[in-house]
Structure 1
């Protein structure tokens, strides 16, 4: 009885938080409306999925209960679309995206003749023998295959988006992709535990399945709070890129080889422009901005930096920012300027990305580098 009460209590609290956060995401004023609505829908689906845990509080017919359980097949497709919307600024929902509801429709159509349309005693007999009924076995296999495919697809999208970002941008969006990768990793762990729970559900170890169910609810509770914390404390975190941008490897395979003389000439112009005009001081600098200033096509400039120089655009720009940082740190007249003030001055808008870039370039943190300089001149 205590275990049942605990399950119901955690389910009710998690449902309330999920629905409250969904309402917040739908009503808050932001430029990322589609992303918010997709994640709100994901939260609503998660809340609906928990209704099965609280059916002791009110009557739910078997048809409705089974239909609600199939909503699980819409959760990961919705999360996948959410990942796309966060990664790509020009993402829009289209009719073709309805294909992501196919598994949900198939699962319910399979149950139509032998479950939804039969009398109550027949439904009960079917559920009692669920472990040996072909329709239910098929739906469980379908659910787990879908789970694997969508998690892999989400990681592939994130991997490609990260590469495109590094090759074309020099702002803070990489932090968004890092966080979204971590969040997807947490969801992957959640669904893996759910898979293990379902395996034990059809064995004699039902107590293990019930224990994992409670663990999953607590895990889900903390995941939702984690998302809320990140969204509220980092409103600028959720930025995205243009899906029309291509990877440099794809550009090279599509285009004819650029003449070495042209590359050398463009490289000299690029380095002079970076040194004289200091465009890297703009925290939102993109490869398109430099392309417009130098009148070099983006595709050629991308090949020049990412392929010819062997650097991502992100690292290329950060190199100039770090070199500028070192100049400031060496300037004795600016010894009282804080590291935080310096990072904003040289074009960074994230302390974590600044520290990572500085350590990658010098092997030291900004603070330890400054102390070494001070000790050197004492």
Structure 2
């Protein structure tokens, strides 16, 4: 088996797995349909790009305009992935007309191709295809894709940063698998895309054999990543829940001293101290932290402090994320149970559910962060 045949086999496998997953995402019953459809669209664009590895030369030469158009669909792949990240992070995300701005590179490329490629005669099209690596249109298109990868990689990680900050300031459910998953998949995907930039540079050199082997390696990695995504999606369905993107961070709520408006004075220290005292007393007396899905909005309703003020109180004046603030009470509750001789029969798993956690790994991480001991070690030391 030669290298081209091996490359074709891997390409077909990647296409098959991607189409299978896309079909699953488009047909499965779920509340988060938009995210699934966007990722299915990403997979379909990936398939369109990937079939170039194994489609025959005869088919290409008989359908050159279709082949040229297939190239341009690459300009939609990463923007669709970016929109997918937004849809998973934020439950209130909806596609709007303004999102068509992400299609501008695709539209511009096809506009250029209309005047420079699509309407050429068959002989000139074939000449363009056979010498595409030397053509300025193709070179410019590859350069544009490289810039697109860089810009969207920055945009994706800025979205994830915002998601994490909003989550920590407004939610307490310790299941942070959504952020971890999105961070993992984004890191892996963009690592592959940056490798593809390096691979495409080889296209414009004389190292043809090296470029072919680079394609083999990229196909192998793409196949592994696609299969990994399938396994993760099947084993962790909770990865498709989002949060409200309209929630504000405490730093955005606080007045800014450099604004050209009348500076709003800070609350008097005695008022803040009183509010903190009321909040701490309520947390100890009523134990709202026992609810695993407690949010800052729910706590605001219970304690009758506006959510805006409560967010500033905890995140600014107490210098804690809401996530850490609530988990601290959960850990203290768990510590008292672990030290209680009458509750020695309770397992660590039973205790973490009792105090408001719903993930053993998150409980162990938070407990060790607070006590420098694992729950089991703490119990044995008591």
* Pairwise same-fold verdict (TM > 0.5): yes
1:349-360 equivalences in 2 (<5 Å):
349-360=358-369
1:314 partnered with 2:316: no
Alpha-carbon deviation of 1:134? 2.2
Partner in structure 1 of residue 21 of structure 2: 21
Partner in structure 2 of residue 326 of structure 1: 335
Alpha-carbon deviation of 1:301? 0.4
1:187 partnered with 2:196: no
What secondary structure does 1:59 align onto?
Answer: helix
Partner in structure 2 of residue 138 of structure 1: 140
Partner in structure 2 of residue 92 of structure 1: 94
How has the CA–CA distance of structure 1 residues 173 and 80 changed in structure 2, closer, same or farther, with 3 Å as cutoff? farther
1:121-178 CA distance string (max 9 Å, x none): 1112223433332222211111111111011100000001101110111014532112
Partner in structure 1 of residue 233 of structure 2: 231
Partner in structure 1 of residue 280 of structure 2: 271
Alpha-carbon deviation of 1:369? 2.2
In 1: Cα distance, 2:222 partner to 2:120 partner: 35
What secondary structure does 1:180 align onto?
Answer: helix
1:15-54 equivalences in 2 (<5 Å):
15-54=15-54
In 1: Cα distance, 2:187 partner to 2:12 partner: 25
Say if 1:291 and 1:297, in contact at 8 Å, map to a contact too.
yes
Partner in structure 1 of residue 294 of structure 2: 285
Q: List alignment gaps of at least 5 residues for structure 1.
A: 374-378
How has the CA–CA distance of structure 1 residues 353 and 209 changed in structure 2, closer, same or farther, with 3 Å as cutoff? same
More deviation, 293-302/127-136: 127-136
Partner in structure 1 of residue 110 of structure 2: 108
Partner in structure 2 of residue 253 of structure 1: 255
RMSD (CA atoms): 1.6
Say if 2:290 and 2:354, in contact at 8 Å, map to a contact too.
yes
What secondary structure does 2:352 align onto?
Answer: helix
What secondary structure does 2:215 align onto?
Answer: helix
Say if 2:297 and 2:307, in contact at 8 Å, map to a contact too.
yes
Alpha-carbon deviation of 1:354? 1.2
Say if 1:173 and 1:238, in contact at 8 Å, map to a contact too.
no
Partner in structure 2 of residue 71 of structure 1: 73
In 2: Cα distance, 1:237 partner to 1:346 partner: 24
Q: List alignment gaps of at least 5 residues for structure 2.
A: 257-262
Partner in structure 2 of residue 362 of structure 1: 371
More deviation, 12-21/205-214: 205-214
More deviation, 236-245/321-330: 236-245
Say if 1:147 and 1:191, in contact at 8 Å, map to a contact too.
yes
Query: How many pairs align?
Result: 373
In 1: Cα distance, 2:219 partner to 2:287 partner: 51
In 2: Cα distance, 1:86 partner to 1:47 partner: 22
Alpha-carbon deviation of 1:46? 0.6
Partner in structure 1 of residue 124 of structure 2: 122
In 2: Cα distance, 1:311 partner to 1:109 partner: 52
Partner in structure 2 of residue 153 of structure 1: 155
Q: What TM-score, normalized by structure 2, do the two folds share?
A: 0.94
Say if 1:288 and 1:298, in contact at 8 Å, map to a contact too.
yes
Alpha-carbon deviation of 1:216? 1.4
Say if 2:175 and 2:359, in contact at 8 Å, map to a contact too.
no
In 2: Cα distance, 1:236 partner to 1:204 partner: 48
In 2: Cα distance, 1:197 partner to 1:118 partner: 29
In 1: Cα distance, 2:152 partner to 2:58 partner: 34
More deviation, 329-338/255-264: 255-264
More deviation, 361-370/274-283: 361-370
